[in-house]
Amino acid sequence: MRFDTPATTNPIDQLKVVGRPTDRVEGPLKTTGTATYAYEQNAAAPGAVYGYIVGAAIAKGRIEAIDTRAASRAPGVLAVITAGSAGKLDKGEFYAARALAGPEVDHYHQAAAIVVAQTFEQARAAAQLVRVRYARTEGAFDLAAAKESAPLSKVAPFAPPPETTVGDFEGGYAKAAVTLDASFTTPDQSHAMMEPHATIAAWDGGKLTLWTAIQQVNWGVRDIAKTLGIAKENVRIVSPYIGGGFGGKGTILSDAVLAAVAARKVGRPVKVALQRALMFNNVTHRPATIQRIRIGADSNGRITAIGHESWSGNIAGGRPEAATAATRLLYAAPNRMTRLRLAHLDLAEGSAMRAPGEAPGMMALEIAMDEMAEKLAMDPVAFRVLNDTQVDPEDPKRPFSKRQLVECLQTGAKRFGWSERPVRPGSRRDGRWLVGMGMAAAIRGAPVMKSAARVRLDNRGIVTVETDMTDIGTGSYTIIAQTAAEMMGIGVDKVTVKLGDSRFPESAGSGGQWGAASSTAGVYAACVKLREAVARQLDMDPASAEFADGMVRAGSRTVPLTHASRWHDLEAEDVMEFGDLTKRYAVQTFGAHFVEVGVDAATGEIRVRRMLAVCAAGRILNPKAARSQVIGGMTMGVGAALMEELVVDKRAGFFVNHDLAGYEVPVHADIPHQEVIFLDEVDPAGSPLKAKGVGELGISGVAAAVANAVYNATGVRVHDYPITLDKFLDRLPDVV
């Protein structure tokens, strides 16, 4: 099926199942500990042995020699594998980093060897016996030092153009009545997901099976086949449950590659889980940025020029952090400019992390908008409303498919009590606490990708859905079950969903906020075919047949659905392919975040008191799951604002705080009451279900809303994230 015209009325619009707050269908498995995550697939791969990765102890240089003799003689050891014994290894198409160092070392904790033993403890102990002699060379680890020489980035997938211009930015900015020129920094951040990167690998002759934690099964098949030099047809990936990804498990990484290499070497299944320290320096992270934003406006507050420049760093072949993405679409201005510059750094690879581009970009943009509003003596909400646009600012002939940003802002302001915000920063107190409110707009793209599914109706009336879509804690199982139930006129209890297996039809996978809309569209397409097969089996007209309450109706006839499959199962498979609607329309999701904070007047301690998100993101397929996604994003936004920072040792070239003791993330006590409002919206250009994604909208803009609230509470601006008390304590108002 092809989706190239906006959706019209279809069976999803019945909303008997879709759109209802539905419990997760896999919830009982997860809450009882019986859901099998990658490292727990023991029944599927009996007799597995254990691999333990030895990370490089330098950030840049060469491996001159590796002495594995003592490790090889250690109890239980089956093999010690290095670049010299691993065989030829290529790289996949998505990540730029090599899985195994040798002889060159590209970054700290790049795998230098893997030790395989009968038990995990034996492998870990033997890994300490591997002796590596390095020749260290100078590396580049400081983004600020590399900034001036950083060239424009190259054109890269999933990134904005390196440079965009509309009108005359420099001229428009120079002529503006009111101007702002501000710089901001955002730090390196870690995904820090609960489940580590983990894989079990097993070979059957020349065929490889990986049980692995991965978001994009199809990318994983492609990339492991390319890395190992085998045919894709000889690879199977299984990933039914994933304990968090946030973009950090997009495709195969060192755990999968080295598990596969080790399993081939020892002739047995091999389990590899990255120890927490290697999850910070061995695999990917959100890269740091330096950003400069310039805004010019007339005396009435209309923006006449907006420019956004961003610098980030990466290893050779890596992509830039797409920090200018939101600025290209969020506000109107006739004169515009964006630039992305990319410095070469010898840190671990920077790559996608929840809302790549929008999350760090809006940490800067939405503070700048608040500062500009203050210069204009305007309310921050009113300033944003004034500069709304219903067409793509870079291409006015391209309208937004749906854009309810103003409604989000105004609904949020009313619900949050924005009118009570102190106009003068630092003027409201609650005992020892300085209290302030802040807000920020939110935008995040709503892309879609080709997605397929297979559906089968059996004689019990059970519909089974199979697709290689993954569930990274986002609720994919449930919204896919709801889609199939709505299409076939049955309850969710009559649907079985099977995900995360490359033997199933290829889906969009989880990432980029495209998973929900794309995967359910694939299920929709397959169900359309199954409905046609059912109608023909019952001698009904497929165009007029109605499916409801387990029955099929056409004209005066009403027949149980099970009559169509009483003699044999009916099966259908289809793929949803998307046309050029995203070129004809700017398809985005929008929101507004409101935050109240308290800042201790004496110590500078910041406490978030309450939060509100208002979202416009197409049809919400499952409000319960969608709310969970948004409050999760809001929580990560608090972390980005106040605590999350990978600290770089700029001499040795590694992230110092590479565990959850040193890398701080919000805990329950840090997060107050959170409220989420979804505006009533359907977007016919989004998908046949008129839905869009929401998982990354929840983080976009949150950090800036927190920062703006801190300013409103204290009168002190901080442009260097995270906002820790050492950056403003000496500027707090005098304690009275």
Enumerate the active-site residues: 696
Angle at the Cα of 154 (from 149 to 157), degrees rounded to 5? 140
Nearest Cα residue to 450 out of 528, 503, 508: 508
Structure-token pair, residue 109: 């904790």
Per DSSP bridges, beta strands 49-55 and 111-117 are antiparallel
Q: How far apart are alpha carbons 541 and 373 in whole angstroms?
A: 61
Nearest Cα residue to 657 out of 196, 143, 277: 277
Q: Output the furthest CA–CA distance in the chain (Å, rounded).
A: 84
Name the packing angle between helices 623-642 and 702-714 (round to 10°).
50
| Non-local CB neighbours of 291 within 8 Å, separated by 6+ positions | 183, 184, 185, 186, 308, 309, 310, 311, 323, 360, 361, 364
| Residue 353: C-alpha distances to residues 366, 516, 660 (Å) | 19, 18, 17
Q: How far apart are alpha carbons 210 and 251 in whole angstroms?
A: 12
Nearest Cα residue to 101 out of 313, 346, 440: 346
DSSP secondary structure, 551-604, as one string: EEEETTEEEEGGGGGSSS-EEEEEEEEE-SHHHHSB-EEEEEEEEEEEEETTT-
Q: How far apart are alpha carbons 365 and 708 in whole angstroms?
A: 12
Structure-token pair, residue 330: 């969020």
Q: How far apart are alpha carbons 39 and 351 in whole angstroms?
A: 24
**DSSP state letter for 320:** P
Exposed e or buried b per residue across 292-317, where buried means at least 16 C-beta atoms within 10 angstroms of its C-beta: bbbbbbeeebbbbbbbbbbbbbbbee
Question: Helix, strand, coil % (nearest 5) of the chain?
Answer: 25, 30, 45
Q: How far apart are alpha carbons 274 and 261 in whole angstroms?
A: 15
Q: Which regions of 579-687 does DSSP assign to beta strands (E)? A: 588-600, 606-616, 648-649, 654-655, 673-678
Residue 113 C-beta-side C-alpha neighbours within 13 Å: 28
Q: How far apart are alpha carbons 621 and 692 in whole angstroms?
A: 9
Give the full edge-to-edge strand order of the sheet including 557-560.
546-548, 551-554, 557-560
Please count the helices (runs of H) and the strands (runs of E) in the chain. Answer: 16, 32
Nearest Cα residue to 306 out of 381, 235, 387: 387
- What are the backbone angles phi and psi of residue 27, rounded to the nearest 5°? -55, -45
Task: Please confirm whether the linkage preceding 733 is cis (ω < 30° from 0).
Answer: no
